[in-house]
């Protein structure tokens, strides 16, 4: 399968006019044959910066039945979330890294304008850290926050399962770019070490879109942005196509937030957390915004070629 065939079924929606020339040029360039590179040490650089933990040696990515393999690294620079009337802004960047695969004849989604997009499966990075996020200091409603962890809850966003249905070419559509199950780890002197909102079995599922949301009331539709899109070639003549989305804004205001669990001795403080934060909180009363999102996606039809391309930039 030639690399140009990776995207022969797809057209960019909304931004197709300004991206058409770049796509055509990139598809012509990435067909250049590549020669193997020697093993290298150090971290990848250039277009593969941040992809050092991409699981290219995994059985999933090395499976010969895969038609497309790739590496993803995304940085979320800002935004925040609201649960009912509680609003929390992200205080530090978050990073998401993972590998992707798509088998020939794999799942796709078709949009109203008849364009389609691949739904990639994801592969956990070699260090196991798909999501890296700093802790948040969340004030407790009704209390003056002067003692973090006592008059507030230190909240750590944690994964509650693998990222699913990654659809980067749906960026211009009113469709989620991915599904991300998370749980919120609440750390407070009186809540104990295992207080969570959401769990692996009942997660908060984020389905953010760069298009327009369709939430139930009372929330209203909000529109995101794909940011600036770039498509380029490998700098050393290998075959990967490198797609970048810079400065995107993603929204999801149709998510539900479940009740607390594990708070206090024998869960005796669950009801307090639920009362203070209005949990469970039904869809239409909560929202999350991911802003200043920069994403790099490197895709190839050959895992070995992708490995060689990444290794050639290691320093």
**All structural domains of the chain with their residue ranges:** 3-31+43-311
Closest CA to 116 of 169, 174, 78, 189: 169
For CA atoms 104, 241, 305, 42, the dihedral sign is: negative
Distances (CA, A) of 36 to 40, 232, 239: 12, 20, 11
**Side-chain half-sphere of 195: how many Cα atoms within 13 Å?**
23
pLDDT per residue over 153-202, tens digit each?
A: 889 999 999 999 999 888 778 999 999 999 999 998 888 899 999 999 99
Contact between 242 and 297 (Cβ < 8 Å): yes
> H/E element holding 16?
helix 16-29
Per-residue pLDDT of the chain in tens (315 residues, 90 and over written 9): 344 344 443 333 333 433 433 443 343 333 333 334 445 579 999 999 999 999 999 999 999 999 999 999 999 999 999 998 888 899 899 999 999 999 989 999 998 788 889 999 999 999 999 999 999 988 766 655 555 556 678 899 999 999 999 998 887 789 999 999 999 999 988 888 999 999 999 999 999 999 999 999 999 999 999 999 999 999 999 999 999 999 999 999 999 999 999 999 989 999 989 998 899 999 999 999 999 999 999 999 999 999 999 999 998
Q: Which residues, in sequence order, are bridge partners of residue 144?
A: none
DSSP string over 58-99: SHHHH-TTEEEEEEEEEEEEEEEEEETTEEEE--S-EEEEEE
DSSP string over 3-55: GGGGGTT---SSSHHHHHHHHHHHHHHTTS---------S---GGGTT-TT--
Q: Please tell me the distance from the alpha carbon of residue 264 to that of residue 59, in angstroms, as a whole number.
A: 42
Distances (CA, A) of 27 to 8, 169, 270: 10, 15, 54
Print burial letters for 224-245: b (CB count within 10 Å at least 16), e (below 16): bbbbebebbbbeeebbbbbbbb
User: 126 φ, ψ to 5°?
Assistant: -65, -30
């Amino acid at each position: 399968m030639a690399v140009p065939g990776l995207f022969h079924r797809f057209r960019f929606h909304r931004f197709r006019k300004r991206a058409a020339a770049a796509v055509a040029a990139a598809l012509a360039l990435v067909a250049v044959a590549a020669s193997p590179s020697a093993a290298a040490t150090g971290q990848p650089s250039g277009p593969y910066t941040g992809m050092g933990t991409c699981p290219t040696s995994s059985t999933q990515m090395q499976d010969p039945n895969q038609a497309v393999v790739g590496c993803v690294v995304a940085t979320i620079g800002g935004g925040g979330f609201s649960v009912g009337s509680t609003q929390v802004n992200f205080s530090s960047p978050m990073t998401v890294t993972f590998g992707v695969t798509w088998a020939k004849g794999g799942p796709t989604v078709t949009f109203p304008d008849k364009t389609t997009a691949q739904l990639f499966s994801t592969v956990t990075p070699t260090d196991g850290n798909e999501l890296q996020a700093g802790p948040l200091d969340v004030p407790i409603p009704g209390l003056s926050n002067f003692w973090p962890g006592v008059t507030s809850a230190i909240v750590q966003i944690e994964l509650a399962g693998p990222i699913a249905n990654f659809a980067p070419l749906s960026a211009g559509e009113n469709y989620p770019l991915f599904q991300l199950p998370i749980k919120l780890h609440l750390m407070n002197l009186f809540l104990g070490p295992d207080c969570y909102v959401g769990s692996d079995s009942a997660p908060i599922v984020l389905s953010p879109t760069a298009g327009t949301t369709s939430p139930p009331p009372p929330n209203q539709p909000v529109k995101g942005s794909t940011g600036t899109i770039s498509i380029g070639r490998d700098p050393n003549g290998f075959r990967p196509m490198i797609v970048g989305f810079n400065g995107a804004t993603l929204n999801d205001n149709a998510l539900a937030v479940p009740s607390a669990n594990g708070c206090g001795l024998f869960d005796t403080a669950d009801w307090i957390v639920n009362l203070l934060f209005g949990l469970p909180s039904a869809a239409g009363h909560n929202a999350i915004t991911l802003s200043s999102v920069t994403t790099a996606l490197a895709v190839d039809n050959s895992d070995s070629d992708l490995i060689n391309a990444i290794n050639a930039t290691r320093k």
